[in-house]
Structures are given as structure tokens and as C-alpha cells.
Amino acid sequence: MTPLLHDLRILELGHYVAAPFATRVLADLGADVIKIEPPGDGDPVRTWGARVDGNALWWSVHGRNKRSVTVNMRSIEGRALVLDLVRQCDAVVENYRVGQLEKWGLGPAALAAARPGIVLVRISGYGQTGPDANRAGFGVIGEAKGGLRHLCAYPPGESDLPPVRAGIAIGDSIAGFYGALGTLAAIHAQKRDGATDCRVIDVALGEAVLSLLEGCLPEYGLLGRVREPAGSRLKAAAPSNAYKSKDGAWVLIAGNSDPLFRTLAGLMDQPELASDPRFIDNQARCAHIDELDGIIARWVAVLDAEAVLALMDEGNIPASKIYTVADIAADPQYLAREMVREVDDPLLGRVLHPGVVPVVEGLDRTSQIRWAGPAVGQHNDEVLGGLLGLRPDRLAALKEEGVI
């Protein structure tokens, strides 16, 4: 079975996280993604995080399934090469500062002239319009403006420490997902309508994060209620919290329906809890959540995590140890589904990668990772020579001139 997006070609004019994440999602599903990088060091993410022999481990995943081509977009010749590549593509994905493409003569009108019906996906801090459009913004700013960072704080009164980040560039990744979705929707619409103009998809980091905030806006608009941080709890349903086991692990237990709570109470050898007026239904349990969490915490504290989880499995109660990456790498379910697998990386050797999501029925999951993140400009000859037909002497001249 061929990959789902094998007939799409995407040009990535992105750097750092958001746009490259969007194109990685598309590349994982089979799209031919051509990533433009500046000659020399390439995308700055190549220097982020842990490195082996100067090569960033994150890049192995972040750049996988893409073809790397170096182009100096500040040069006239470089921008001409980009337009030549646009002619071969279905969409362009970028995350430069607002107006930068226009300064280079690569705005929507120029792209449509080169390739009628092209899709341009633009990911930025605040969007292409509005009073803040020209402000600088990274994913962490989107998380703050979108309301997520506030909800990641400790519950009121528990700590004076600042709200914590998610531990990953989640704001960028959420915007990247919307960018990938917008890419596919716009390509579909352009082909359906036979459009010749450039269809622009505008994704703002803060808006992408804000879109995930469940009922926070209607709660505020109708009730004047500002949702506050809840820590590890799910305040709308109880019990749903993390409890520390005897061996020091955090075990998350979500026994928050009435049938599940009755089962949990029995497994704890405290069946009377299910008929206690304080815990008789979800509303009552939420009203007495401190007492309930205290009871469960004391029960978990005298058992090892595996003993707790075995009991939860016996009662079919959703539960898990809070995993570290070491737990993930050893998890039988992830391994059985090849969600954690080794990939040959010419720059690093054998590297663990997360599998491609979603699983596509009929397609071998291992085949979806076609190659790891490439070296800077690894595909110059293949793309500029093979796709655009530039002769070797011309490629050599462009390299000598610093264009590629």
C-alpha cells in the first residue's frame, strides 16, 4: 500500500519548531516535503538539545522523511530557485515574521503566478492581521497568551512558584497540527474548485492553544468564572488524580464514574465509601475531593505501583504509572505496535524514534519512517538537479556563489 499523501509535494520555508512540525506530520503520512535551509549550519534546531558528534538527536525525528535543500533566500538567485520549486509543489508552509515573504518578493501573488492554485500556510505568533501581527512570538508566548500556562500552575494557595511549562514545545506543536490540517483542507478545496489564486491558511500560535481550552470561554462569558489551575486533579470528575506509591512512583487513577468508583472502593477493601453521602455520586465526590483524595492517597502509599496497577486492571479502572521516557521505551504495548522503534540514522547510528501517528490500516508502520533527519543540503543534487534539471556545472557555480 502506498502512503496516503504520496502524490503531494510540500515546500517548507520554515525554521525552529511550528512550521517544521507541520511538515513532519505531512511527511510522515507520505508527502514529499522539500525543506529549504540556509547554507552552512541549516535550521537552528540542528543545534538544540543533546548532541552526538555535533549532531542534534532531536533533529533525527524533527527532520525525518524530508529532503533538505540549501538556498540563500536573501539572494536574488536563491529566491528564483524557490519560485522554481514552488512550480513543482502543491503547498508552501512558512513561519517567518509577518511580511518577510513579501519583502523577498515571495508573497501570495508571486506564488500564485508561479504555480496557479498554490496553498500558502502561514504560522506566526499572532496571525497575519490585527494590532499585534508584527510582534515577535514563540510557542511559549502562545501558551501564555492562549491561557494554557495559567492552567499549568499549582492550585491557588499551594505555591508561589511560576506556572510550569509542559516540558515540550507544545504551543508550536499544536499550531503545527493546525497547519498540517489546514494544508490538506486547502489543497482539497483548491483542487475541487479548480482555483488559480493562492489560498492562504493563517495559523496563530496563541489562537491554536486557545482553541483547546474546552469550556473556559463560555464559563467566563456566562458565569464570570475564571477556571483556575487544578494541579494533578480533574476538578469536574472525581477521583482522577495522581497518588504516590510505596516505591515512589506516581500512579494516576481515574475512577470517576459511579460504577468505577464502586469498583475502586471494593478493591480498596473500603466498599462503604461508595454509599457514603460524601461520595455517593460525582457531584458529591467533587465537593469533598480533598477528603476523597486523602483516603486514596493513604491506600496507595502502602503499596508498590505494580500492585496498585494490578488491582486497577482487575477492576478495569483506567490507571497508569506516570511514565518517564525510560518507561515508554520499555512499554510492551508501545513495542508491540512499533510506536517505539529503532531507526538507522547515518549521522547518529541506531536511534529510537516515535512511530508515525495515526496507524494506517494496510500500511506497515515501520515503512512510514523512510529516513531520519538528513544532513544540511543532503538532497541538493537530487532536488535541484533531478527535479529542476540544473546541470552539475550550474549547481557547482551556485555553490561557489553562496546561493546554495
Q: Which residue has 483516603 as its cell numbers?
A: 295
* Catalytic hit among 28, 90, 172, 293: 172
- Report helix angle 18-28 to 170-193, nearest 10: 60
Q: How far apart are CA 395 and CA 386, in angstroms?
A: 11
376: left (phi over 0), alpha (psi -120 to 50) or beta: beta
- Sign of the dihedral through C-alpha 133, 134, 135, 139: positive
172 annotated active-site: yes
- Among 246, 258, 241, which Cα is nearest to 293's? 241
Q: How far apart are CA 42 and CA 187, in angstroms?
A: 28
Angle at 212 between CA 21 and CA 224, to 5 degrees: 150
Residue 74 CB neighbours (<10 A):
11
Per the CB < 8 A criterion, the answer to whether 8 and 26 are in contact is: yes
Helix (H, G, I), strand (E, B), or coil: what is residue 219? helix
385: left (phi over 0), alpha (psi -120 to 50) or beta: alpha
Per the CB < 8 A criterion, the answer to whether 126 and 206 are in contact is: yes
Per the CB < 8 A criterion, the answer to whether 18 and 172 are in contact is: yes
Q: How far apart are CA 341 and CA 185, in angstroms?
A: 31
- Sign of the dihedral through C-alpha 73, 79, 81, 82: positive
- Among 73, 69, 7, 5, which Cα is nearest to 34's? 69
Per the CB < 8 A criterion, the answer to whether 84 and 384 are in contact is: no
DSSP string covering 311-346: HHHHTT--EEE---HHHHHH-HHHHHTTSEEEEEET
Q: Which amino acid is at 163?
A: P
- Among 214, 237, 208, which Cα is nearest to 227's? 214
Q: Give the residue numbers marked as catalytic.
A: 172
